[in-house]
Structure 1
Amino acid sequence: MDFDIVSLSRLQFALTALYHFIFVPLTLGLSILVAIMETVYVLTGRTLWRDMTKFWGGLFGINFAMGVATGIVMEFQFGMNWSYYSHYVGDIFGAPLALEGLMAFFLEATFVGLFFFGWERLSRVKHLIVAWCVALGSNFSALWILIANGWMQNPVGAQFNPQTMRMEMTDFFAVLINPMAQTKFVHTVTAGYVTAAVFVLGISACYLLKGRYPALAKRSMTVAATFGLVSALALVALGDESGYLVAKHQKMKLAAMEAMWKTEPAPAAFTAFGFPDQAARETHYAVHVPWLMGLIGTRSLTTEIAGIEALVEQAERRIRDGLTAYDALQRIRAASKTGAGIPPQAQADFETHGHALGHALLLKRYTDDPRQASPEQIRQAAWDTVPQVAPLFWAFRLMVGLGFFLIVLTAVFSWLSIQRRLDAHPWLLKIAAYSIPLPWIAIECGWIVAELGRQPWVIEGVLPTAVAVSNLGASTVLFTIIGFVLIYTVLLLIELKLMLRAIRKGPDIAAPDSADSRITAATPAPAH
């Protein structure tokens, strides 16, 4: 990596996002699982379900606090490291972030306090409402963040104003129902549900291996396995939808994920394995699954998926169209400064070619005035639209592979819970315990695919990353990177220490009620 301001700013945001996303999925999933457990407690009155709610709710609280601490910093970076981005799209990007604070975070934070301190002050039903409000707030917060992120992937409901030199919102409803945003939301929160389910499954398996809290552990495993299996299966369908939308709106990302250098006859094959070579523009030792990529990406057998080389040719044509728009924009701005009327030809040129203005801005990396770019620079800028293929290729396959493994894992324990044999195979319990980190690895791979695959755009087709950064010195950004990494690492270690202490201590088990006592006496190792 070149340690210039753009690369360092990207690295800083990537690191803080990856750190923050360690906490977010567990918060999303645990909030729902805790609410489900408390629902069972209210319906049955069994104290064991209250103990489960308090125990897993305590772990949720630790994780929630750390997630808030790491998330606040990220929003400050938009003004600190990405000031031109904030100026350029603040009208659109700021709206969902403001709504996230007003409608979701305040809801979540308020009811978190009531959840932890209201056990003896609220009735069962009222406390259950509080638990579901916490879950709703947690997931609602993710909605607004992902609406903002989805707009960056597929900018809709906005247009560029040549007078203000900014993107301005024209249709908030279009931003809200952006299919890319909605799919990212359900995909992300469902991944969080799988993460929490595997976390509860693994911790409960550890308790069973050590012979601690068997009744609580088995009930927790039953809930987690069932919830996790449903969520993991849903991820398959949501992943299919995501692939279709990427093929429709981010063709270069899909081609890079597949290391598809040349356009193949329809339907395109899926590359199950291979070694992408970006310098040679080929994939060595590729193993293909016929038709699969065509079905995922186009849902047909007759529609082509463009390869990287064909998309680069398209990008070069758009850059040349963008140069016409850029020249028209400069004439419009010059007329505005002098008070003269806008030249009709300039206005017509901008209206015709303005959609390609962002591609002309790719040349800012090579020259201050894109109109002075040489044919070689235009060609190079077109190839700049190709993201790093190998990391995308492998991150996507690791994510998918882990996803299918987690389906099998949760399915096995769902079956064992039905058979009331959750502790019958210690080796399976060990697999569940060792699987706890796997959902986080899959999620981080997914985040890498989503964000690295969008490069060189900070807003797809509209604003290149290279022109979105603040005018800071590289040493300043490097210093803050070191500071953030140190602080976030300390927070992560604190999180792990607090979590492990709470897990070692275990739940506070109240005296069992008569129903629990009868079940324990009749079946020494019940599943539920």
Structure 2
Amino acid sequence: MDMAVIELSRLQFALTALYHFLFVPLTLGLSFLLVIMESLYVMTDRPVWRQITRFWGKLFGINFVLGVATGLTMEFQFGTNWAYYSHYVGDIFGAPLAIEGLMAFFLEATFVGLMFFGWDKLSKQAHLFVTFMVALGTNLSALWILIANGWMQHPAGATFNPATMRMEVTDFTAVIFNPVAQAKFVHTVSAGYVAASVFVLGISALFLLRGQWLPLARRSFTVAAAFGLASSLSVVVLGDESGYALTDNQKMKLAAIEAMWHTEPAPAGFAAFGLPSNTARETAFEVKIPYVLGLIATRSVTGEVTGITELVEDAKAKIGSGILAYDAVERLKLNRADPTARASFEENKGNLGYALLLKRFVADPRRADRATIEKAAWTTVPNVPAMFWIFRVMAGLGFFFIAFFGLAFLFATRRQFDRRWFLRAALWVIPLPWIAIEFGWILAEIGRQPWAIDGVLPTFLGASDLTVPQLWTTIAGFTALYGTLAVIEVRLMVEAIRKGPEPVAAPPEATPRDPGGYAPLAAD
């Protein structure tokens, strides 16, 4: 086992996933913003709403293509870079991805062409239905992918079969309704709605600053402000729910996020500031808000949040149990009818993955001594300083967006589109949702380490048999390809924004005109 191969495989997948997720949030959010805008067109029959929908739809299309291109590459890596992972858990993990392709991706791919080319061939109501189906398809894609990812975080509905030496599904309903997956889905799509709202509001602010296409800019600003305010509130509420799911399913991740090295009397305090250290195993200059963590994590004043040190002790016990399961598997290989081995396996099979942690240090887990077990138990602790600060940046941005959209909504309802300081600020805010979203993914994936499948398969056992030069070559190739695609997308986006919307015919009663090519309405 070459740890350089493992780390480079992780780096390659991380770069691919993070790059892919630059496009996914905008696709998720813009799809439903298009539904809202086109619904207003159908209800009011005002051409300006058709113009608005088509303009933002063009930007959606550019982003959609890049999202598909980068997503396909990412999925191929399961077979190329993570072959044993695919073999070991492919029966479970592959099913949601297959359903995503057959159901959601085909749905959106079928209707996206009609959405772009059906404006003059379909009735308004039929075209709105098509737009809604595209939005439904994009969000269903996210659902099935997050079901797969949620199973990696909390592997429900599956068990190890010693006859096949693989994980197999025992309850597909439990896989689909995995509480971690459901919490991740609603939180992730809400974050995508925030990103799209910030994008639409920021570009609208640019038009307002330049005095261009003002009716489009004002209406888009208003829709984005309202949708963004609702979405940002949802992100915080659903993020809290996602954190609550950690209390029962990923206790080590929760403890690492809070840099809680030891269990505290209930209810635990929330660390607002601190400098945690993995080597010293303590947090310096810690500033805590009493009771807050206990209330958030357990929804009570009596619930206990377990500390890292106590969870490591629990991991030692699980490793001991896992060694018994590993020994039983080895005996069942020789004699599948061995009743003693079968009974030992059934009793300890839930902890088999913990015995596999020892393979990083010894070839046969059954030969591990107490010091090796201690070392393996401490590998279950992720990078605490990174977890601690990434979470606080992400959460801080979440509350910032509530204030930002609240102010935007106030200005929109008062028709105060001339607050130039806010319009300029809106341009600088555009990258922030992507920072928060990428941090969220980093938090989720670092927090699961050292596991590829939490408690089941260590990451270092899941990689393919590749070489370091092969990995560096593919990383360089992907970086060059994705860099080129990024330049192309940015140029297409900038050009589409610079060109602006297609002009629409002015109403017969209109006399004064604005740069948008039609007369301003009374409401403008």
TM-score range, shorter chain: over 0.9
The letter of the residue matching 1:232 is: S
User: Which residue of structure 2 aligns with residue 329 of structure 1?
Assistant: 329
Alpha carbons of 1:355 and 1:514: their partners in 2 closer, same or farther (altered >3 Å)?
farther
User: Which residue of structure 2 aligns with residue 273 of structure 1?
Assistant: 273
SS at match of 2:448: coil
User: Which residue of structure 2 aligns with residue 385 of structure 1?
Assistant: 380
The letter of the residue matching 2:168 is: E
SS at match of 1:508: coil
User: Which residue of structure 1 aligns with residue 125 of structure 2?
Assistant: 125
Structure 1 position 97 matched with structure 2 position 97:
yes
Contact 1:255 1:307 in 2 (8 A): yes
Contact 1:420 1:527 in 2 (8 A): no
Contact 1:214 1:525 in 2 (8 A): no
User: Which residue of structure 2 aligns with residue 509 of structure 1?
Assistant: 503
User: Which residue of structure 2 aligns with residue 427 of structure 1?
Assistant: 421
Cα deviation, residue 334, structure 1: 1.4
Q: What CA distance in whole angstroms lies between the structure 2 residues aligned with 1:263 and 1:153?
A: 23
Query: Structure 1 length normalisation: TM-score?
Result: 0.96
1:72-471 superposed matches below 5 A: 72-336=72-336, 342-423=337-418, 425-471=419-465
Alpha carbons of 1:220 and 1:332: their partners in 2 closer, same or farther (altered >3 Å)?
same
Contact 2:328 2:344 in 1 (8 A): yes
Cα deviation, residue 508, structure 1: 1.1
Contact 1:3 1:474 in 2 (8 A): no
Cα deviation, residue 278, structure 1: 1.1
The letter of the residue matching 2:137 is: G
Cα deviation, residue 474, structure 1: 2.0
Q: What CA distance in whole angstroms lies between the structure 1 residues aligned with 2:510 and 2:160?
A: 64
Contact 1:218 1:527 in 2 (8 A): no
Q: What CA distance in whole angstroms lies between the structure 2 residues aligned with 1:23 and 1:5?
A: 28
Cα deviation, residue 374, structure 1: 2.1
Q: What CA distance in whole angstroms lies between the structure 2 residues aligned with 1:303 and 1:154?
A: 21
> Once the two structures are superposed, what CA deviation does each residue of 1:470-491 show, in whole Å capped at 9, x if it has no partner?
1111221121111111211211
Cα deviation, residue 445, structure 1: 0.5
The letter of the residue matching 1:445 is: F
Q: What CA distance in whole angstroms lies between the structure 1 residues aligned with 2:373 and 2:509?
A: 75
User: Which residue of structure 1 aligns with residue 476 of structure 2?
Assistant: 482
SS at match of 2:474: helix
Contact 2:512 2:520 in 1 (8 A): no
Cα deviation, residue 527, structure 1: 6.9
The letter of the residue matching 2:261 is: W
The letter of the residue matching 2:409 is: S
Cα deviation, residue 23, structure 1: 0.2
Cα deviation, residue 303, structure 1: 1.5
Q: What CA distance in whole angstroms lies between the structure 1 residues aligned with 2:176 and 2:509?
A: 48
Contact 2:29 2:192 in 1 (8 A): yes
Contact 1:268 1:292 in 2 (8 A): yes
Contact 1:48 1:516 in 2 (8 A): no
Alpha carbons of 1:368 and 1:202: their partners in 2 closer, same or farther (altered >3 Å)?
same
Contact 2:27 2:64 in 1 (8 A): yes
Alpha carbons of 1:405 and 1:253: their partners in 2 closer, same or farther (altered >3 Å)?
same
Q: What CA distance in whole angstroms lies between the structure 2 residues aligned with 1:421 and 1:101?
A: 45
Q: What CA distance in whole angstroms lies between the structure 2 residues aligned with 1:489 and 1:4?
A: 25
Cα deviation, residue 515, structure 1: 8.6
Unaligned runs of 5+ in 1: 337-341
The letter of the residue matching 1:279 is: T
SS at match of 1:434: helix
The letter of the residue matching 1:29 is: G
Kindly report structure 1 stretches of 4+ aligned residues shifted beyond 2 Å: 512-520, 523-528
Q: What CA distance in whole angstroms lies between the structure 1 residues aligned with 2:380 and 2:502?
A: 56
SS at match of 2:452: strand
SS at match of 1:453: helix
SS at match of 2:503: coil
Structure 1 position 5 matched with structure 2 position 5:
yes
Contact 2:3 2:460 in 1 (8 A): no
> Once the two structures are superposed, what CA deviation does each residue of 1:375-431 show, in whole Å capped at 9, x if it has no partner?
2111110000000111111111110111111111111010111111122x1001111
Alpha carbons of 1:4 and 1:517: their partners in 2 closer, same or farther (altered >3 Å)?
farther
Alpha carbons of 1:527 and 1:89: their partners in 2 closer, same or farther (altered >3 Å)?
farther
Query: Structure 2 length normalisation: TM-score?
Result: 0.97
Q: What CA distance in whole angstroms lies between the structure 1 residues aligned with 2:372 and 2:508?
A: 79
SS at match of 1:6: helix
SS at match of 1:513: coil
Q: What CA distance in whole angstroms lies between the structure 2 residues aligned with 1:516 and 1:190?
A: 40
SS at match of 1:287: strand
Contact 1:46 1:515 in 2 (8 A): no
Unaligned runs of 5+ in 2: none
Contact 1:313 1:382 in 2 (8 A): yes
Contact 2:26 2:63 in 1 (8 A): yes
How many matched pairs?
519
Contact 1:46 1:513 in 2 (8 A): no
Q: What CA distance in whole angstroms lies between the structure 2 residues aligned with 1:515 and 1:88?
A: 70
Identity %: 60
SS at match of 1:4: helix
Q: What CA distance in whole angstroms lies between the structure 2 residues aligned with 1:447 and 1:356?
A: 27
The letter of the residue matching 1:356 is: N
The letter of the residue matching 2:76 is: F
User: Which residue of structure 2 aligns with residue 339 of structure 1?
Assistant: none
Structure 1 position 62 matched with structure 2 position 62:
yes
Cα deviation, residue 512, structure 1: 3.0
User: Which residue of structure 2 aligns with residue 491 of structure 1?
Assistant: 485
Q: What CA distance in whole angstroms lies between the structure 1 residues aligned with 2:47 and 2:292?
A: 50
Contact 1:26 1:195 in 2 (8 A): yes
SS at match of 2:343: helix
Cα deviation, residue 516, structure 1: 8.2
342-351 or 188-197: bigger deviation: 342-351
Alpha carbons of 1:150 and 1:519: their partners in 2 closer, same or farther (altered >3 Å)?
farther
SS at match of 2:287: strand
Cα deviation, residue 139, structure 1: 0.5
Q: What CA distance in whole angstroms lies between the structure 1 residues aligned with 2:486 and 2:389?
A: 26
Q: What CA distance in whole angstroms lies between the structure 2 residues aligned with 1:183 and 1:516?
A: 50
Q: What CA distance in whole angstroms lies between the structure 2 residues aligned with 1:257 and 1:141?
A: 29
Cα deviation, residue 259, structure 1: 0.8
Q: What CA distance in whole angstroms lies between the structure 2 residues aligned with 1:527 and 1:234?
A: 30
Cα deviation, residue 525, structure 1: 8.6
